[in-house]
Amino acid sequence: MKIVIVGGVAGGATAAARIRRLDEQAEIVVFERSGYMSYANCGLPYYIGDVITDEEELTLQTPESFFSRFRVTVKVRHEVIAIYPDRKTVTVKDLERGATFEESYDKLLLAPGARPTVPRVAGLDSDRLFTLRTVEDTLRIKQYIETSRPRSAVLAGGGFIGVELAENLRELGIEVTVVQRPRQLLTPFDPDMAAFLHAELRRYGVKLLLGRSVEGFAEAAEGVAAQLDCGETLHADMAILAMGVTPDTALAKNAGLALGIKGSILVNDKMETSVPDIYAVGDAVQVKNAVTGEDALISLAGPANKQGRIAADNICGGNSRYRGSQGSSVIKIFDLTAATTGLNESAAKKAGLAVDKIILSPMSHAGYYPGGSVMTVKVIFEKQTYRLLGAQIVGREGVDKRIDVLATAIHAGVKATDLKDLDLAYAPPYSSAKDPVNMAGFMIDNIASGTLKQWHVEELPTLLARSDVTLLDTRTRREYAMGHIEGFLNIPVDELRERLAELPVGKPVYVICQSGLRSYIATRILEGNGYTAYNFSGGFRFYATVMQDRALIQKATPCGMDQ
């Protein structure tokens, strides 16, 4: 059996190695149009930022090492330009020599990936304008920085690559401005959680221009001018397009394969396309969202590698199935780690689900053990059924551990209320006896039993306008004096029982504290004394971060840039 693979990075290289492990006799040929195979896309920004200093570390394999280990022929700088399913051949162009030739196959696997999304605007030919997708792109940016010593950069786009680039460029001492059309960065996160990420970027001097877009570029004196939709112009020494990616599927389209969202390749759960003996994997394919079952595009390395393995199994006569993507991801942003899995609140509502949420601020490990830090955890679940839908976490340590537990719980169908029962490892340097994931489960279980009633930040304007409620801040007098919401009465929680007479009887009480714990205790005191009480989800720390972020987005130059 002869297998031809188009694309030799994540999905393609994984599939090639798996096929060889399953079939020692198969002939396997990989065509990769770049000059590198099996390279670490996710590591590219860190090479630019001198975190990874050896260029060779970006490539996990070379054509020579791959052949030595697996006896797979890898031809880099070779682009497949046409597929002929009727005669089972592909046309290949040797990009070094310019010659073309035909290659036959018994099975064909497409792993072309995605290409950087490039808007149709003027000035794209500037030699100071870059994209980042391949090793070659990385080397061009690196060389420009080393030879031209830019002092400033504009990044058009605030997704994962854009934010990682912003961090790495800033660490090199370059002034960075990020322009993003949505009013937040990293849209897999909800705006309230993104507020913490914005704050960290601002803390390190990254300027954010949110709710705006770049409409063109022009050469400027010793630099480039990015023209914004509001009519203003940003001048910088270099600019990078980081607006996301688009499935690279012209080859599949021309061959008559069925296409899906944004021209992606349609595949079934065995990674088979609409044409017999042709499979497809990675960023180019349409998948199912594992939570909603809806069609989705999820461009991440983990799913691509899994799909490559599944396609290989089926090419070799197996019966492996792909169950869909949750979109689990994690990112470093200076001193913070941010991670997400499943649906965020916005996506869950868009999918028509009746959702609820909790927000908590646990310590990363036992409070009495030195070095702990606060995390912000948001868990999304379905009302009534308590089906776990998604989670987002921002913190300094322990974030990746908790998001992986929650991702596993979603995959396994664990109910949100059952998070309290998970038997998780504990030692003071790593966690608390009641792990943050368990704490989330306790809170959701309290909601299910009626022990906890919540209110959220989006309800505040309505509450402030009502005269039939009592607003109560249960922090200390010192905390209250350092900042509070106007209209909230301050009674510290430890004085509440003695001061109940100050609260009108018959009015529901909406309570807040710094993190949500003391205010929860206050609600139990109030409920035990005949009041109806609601606890603020997230605490004043969460409220202050969200409000400050909103204010900074509003307070701006005419274009909306942070001051």
DSSP 365-398: S-TTSTT--B-EEEEEEETTT-BEEEEEEEESSS
Of 61, 176, 281, 52, the closest CA to residue 561 belongs to 176
- Strands of the sheet containing 233-236, edge to edge, are 214-220, 223-228, 233-236
The amino acid occupying position 550 is R
* 296 torsion bin: left (phi>0), alpha (psi -120 to 50), beta (else): beta
Helix (H, G, I), strand (E, B) or coil at 87: coil
DSSP 156-193: E--SHHHHHHHHHHHHTT-EEEEEESSSSS-TTS-HHH
CA atoms of 453 and 441, how far apart (whole Å)? 15
Tallying the residues shown for the chain, one arrives at 563
- 158 φ/ψ angles, rounded to the nearest 5 degrees: -125, 40
What stretch of H or E contains 18?
helix 10-22
What stretch of H or E contains 65?
helix 63-70
Q: Which of 42, 230, 316, 559 is catalytic?
A: 42
Helix (H, G, I), strand (E, B) or coil at 341: strand
Of 251, 249, 215, the closest CA to residue 233 belongs to 215
CA atoms of 304 and 310, how far apart (whole Å)? 10
CA atoms of 319 and 306, how far apart (whole Å)? 14
The set of residues, in sequence order, having a beta carbon less than 8 Å from that of 283 and lying 6+ positions away, is 113, 114, 245, 247, 248, 297, 299, 304
Beta bridge partners of 240: 130, 155
> Would you call 559 a catalytic residue per the annotation?
no
CA atoms of 344 and 371, how far apart (whole Å)? 30
- 529 φ/ψ angles, rounded to the nearest 5 degrees: -115, 20
Under 8 Å between Cβ of 357 and 378: yes
Provide the 8-state DSSP code for 51.
S
* Cα-Cα end-to-end distance for the chain: 63
SS (H, E, C) 539-554: HHHHHHHHHHHHHHHH
Q: Which residue has the tokens 């989800």?
A: 537
What stretch of H or E contains 201?
helix 191-203
Q: Is the C-alpha dihedral spanning 424, 426, 430, 436 positive or negative? A: positive
Q: Which residue has the tokens 């980081």?
A: 242
List the structure tokens of 312. 């290989």
Q: Which residues are catalytic?
A: 42
